[in-house]
Chains A and B, each alone.
Chain A
Amino acid sequence: MRGRMWKLAIYVFLLGFIINLLGIVSHVMVSAFAKRWFGKPLPPAFTTDWFSYAWTNFELGQVLLITLFIAFTVVFVALLIGFPAAYILARRNFRAKPLLLLLYFLPLLIPQMTYGIPLATTLYKLGIGASVAGVILAVLVPMVPLAVFILLPFFEQISLNLEWSASMLGASRLQIFRRVLLPLMVPGILTAGLLVLVNTISNFELAFLLAGGGSQTLVVALYYNVFAGGVRPVYSIDAMAVIYMVMVLSVLLVALRFVRPTQMVFRLDQPRR
């Protein structure tokens, strides 16, 4: 009897959470398609005009292009320098390793707002603030460690015997990398790439602190337009939010085909098991 009550309580909680999430998401969606909407449960008439309004008035084409450029550059660089580091951290033992892992873990642990302000100060001082390069450099700070910690367990799953056998059969280091490691690491690279992509697109704090007029990502542009409110109809802002959601969710749906979220966090929590 008491067990039943518990089960019920869990389902009630889940239901509450789902209704709440559904309410939040669908309110934005309905509002994006509303002609005029005030004080009624549903708008009296629907329209798709706000999307074209948002597209022209917020220069969304430009913003999307910048967002994708920043996101893909960050993914590329994070993988490029994270991949070899993850390999060494997975394969070798050395005295400074715990220290190194802690150093890589700190940018993920410390909130971005805390180190974002000194980082922004430094970058502005060097003259690369308020630019696309500045945003990329800042967002990479948590993304390089993220890529390392996602790739690490994937390397650990590849048996060292494969590398030994390959080198015994006369393969050079480059050949081992190209013919053995790289093909086996494809799932890991995809996972890390997609998660870095989602995290970069939805990153607010660092992109916000470093953004200038021509380097706003979609989220940052969304934020600024919320505060330009009054001038901007709320429906057009919600239309922009819907475009953002569609973009993030499509990447995420692809990502979920490769990753089991529970597994990911468990490994991140205790990387040296």
Chain B
Amino acid sequence: MARAQTDERSELDLVAIACLVPSLLYVVLMFVYPFLYGLYASLQPPKGGAWSIANYLAFFSDPYQYRTIETTFALAIPNSVVVVLAALFLAYGMRRGIWMERTITTILVLPISLGVIFLSEGILGFYGTNGWLNQMLIGAGILAEPLELTHNFIGVTLSLFMQQFPFCFLMLLGYISGIDPSLESSARMLGAGPWTVFRRVMLPLIAPGLIIAFALVFVMSFAVFPSAVMVGQPAGSTRTISIAAYQQAFEQYDMSYASAIAVIMGVCQLLALIAIVLVRRRMTIATTMGVGKR
């Protein structure tokens, strides 16, 4: 419907260009240019003189640095899988509305607004060795020793889950409620059980949205920084690649090396996105999307 309202004139007149230029200029100057500058700076190490890939060689020959890639993948992949599955479970269950939907959606979205720092501070208090959860479990006689849930992998995963679940849930809920409900009822009428409906009708329709959600969550977790520092073990098991980049830039003041690490981080994200897109290509994409909302 919105499409029909578009102006038919396709040429850009002066007014249109004047409207677009400020924001376009901003994105180019402050986003595209720094990216290119970072790439350039990473190839100009302070000692090497002219063009040199010394920074990249240094990164990939130092286990303390290149291991961060492994750490980050090990953190980001399981986290994205858990977030997407949990969001799919809940969004699918809520597709036809549930009791107090508006309130529940608001509560689920709340963690987005609290921000990383507040969440991490709360996680330290609630899940910490002396936190409420451990006190409760020990008090109830379920545990003898407190669980180690913070300052390690689990802490970072908890923090990431709280930040990304709401976002992923909203996306999938929007996607799933856009599927024509009559498809489901037809399948039901033809004798399919709930599992068959999910497996053979709904899942193929949700799959593209699921893959987009997975890609977004993955890219976000790959750049994890504050949670890895606050509820993780930034010097050890959760030293992610963004911590490595930050330390080079603001502790060693080696902007050239830091830019190189940022480039490597970007390339890793890009490679992961390409892999995800390739997986999506191999799946048959259903074309009945979005009928319900039109």
Task: Write the residues of chain A forming the contact surface with B, with a CB cutoff of 8 angstroms.
Answer: 2-3, 6-7, 9-10, 13-14, 17-18, 20-21, 23-25, 27-28, 31, 38-39, 41, 80-82, 84-85, 87-95, 100, 103-104, 106-107, 109-115, 117-125, 137-138, 140-141, 144-145, 148, 153, 156-157, 159-160, 173, 198, 202, 204-205, 208-209, 219, 222-223, 226, 237-238, 241, 244-245, 248-249, 252, 256, 261-266, 269-270, 272-273
Is the CB of B107 closer than 8 A to any CB of chain A? Answer: yes
Cβ of B64 under 8 Å from chain A: no
Q: Which of B15-39 contact A (CB under 8 A)?
A: 15-16, 18-20, 22-24, 26-28, 30-35, 37-39
Q: Nearest 9 CB-CB pairs, A to B?
A: A118-B38, A111-B223, A266-B174, A24-B122, A84-B19, A27-B125, A202-B115, A156-B2, A10-B93
Which residues of chain B are within 8 angstroms of A85 by Cβ–Cβ distance?
Answer: 19-20, 22-24
Q: Which residues of B contact A24 (CB under 8 A)?
A: 119, 122-123, 125-126, 162
Chain B 145-167 interface mask (CB, 8 Å, partner A; 1/0) = 00000000000000000100101
Please give, as numbers and ranges, the residues of chain A lying within 8 Å of B108 by CB-CB distance: 17
Inter-chain contact count A-B, CB under 8 Å?
262
B259 near A118 with CB under 8 A, answer yes
**CB of B214 within 8 Å of the partner chain:** no
Instruction: Tell me the complex Cα distance, A205–B216, Å.
Output: 17
Which residue of B15, B90, B126, B249 contacts A120 across the interface (Cβ within 8 Å)?
B249
Docked-complex contact A249 and B113, CB < 8 angstroms: yes
Please tell me if B69 contacts chain A, counting CB pairs below 8 Å. Answer: no
Q: Give A180 to B86 CA distance when docked, in angstroms.
A: 45
Interface residue B78 (Cβ < 8 Å from any Cβ of A): no
- Chain A contacts of B265 at CB under 8 A? 113-114
Are B105 and A262 in touch, CB under 8 angstroms?
yes
Give every chain A residue within 8 A of B205 (Cβ-Cβ): none
Question: Are the CB atoms of B9 and A92 closer together than 8 Å?
Answer: yes
Task: Select which of A2, A20, A25, A88 is within 8 A of B20 by beta carbon.
Answer: A88
**Residue in chain A with minimal CB distance to B294:** A273
The secondary structure that dominates the B interface is helix
B258 on the interface (CB 8 Å rule)? Answer: yes
Q: Is the CB of A262 within 8 A of B223?
A: no
Once A88-B20, A121-B37 are accepted as A-B contacts, the answer to whether A109 and B5 lie under 8 Å apart by CB is no
B53-61, B130-138, B275-283 - interface stretch: B130-138
CB distance from A6 to the nearest CB of B (A): 7
Q: Is B104 an interface residue (CB 8 A)?
A: yes
**B238 an interface residue at 8 Å Cβ cutoff?**
no
User: Beyond A24-B123, A110-B219, is A248–B115 a contact (Cβ under 8 Å)?
Assistant: yes
Docked-complex contact B226 and A204, CB < 8 angstroms: yes
Task: List A contacts of B115 (CB < 8 A).
Answer: 202, 204, 219, 244, 248
Chain B, Cβ-Cβ closest to A25? B122
- B11 interface hit (Cβ, 8 Å): yes
20 contacts between A and B (CB under 8 A): A10-B90, A18-B107, A21-B162, A25-B114, A25-B122, A84-B19, A84-B22, A85-B24, A92-B6, A93-B7, A103-B28, A110-B269, A114-B265, A117-B258, A121-B38, A121-B249, A141-B26, A160-B5, A261-B105, A265-B174
Complex: how many Å from CA A137 to CA B117? 22
Kindly identify, within residues 214 to 242 of chain B, every residue whose CB is under 8 Å from any CB belonging to chain A: 216, 219-220, 222-223, 225-226, 230, 242
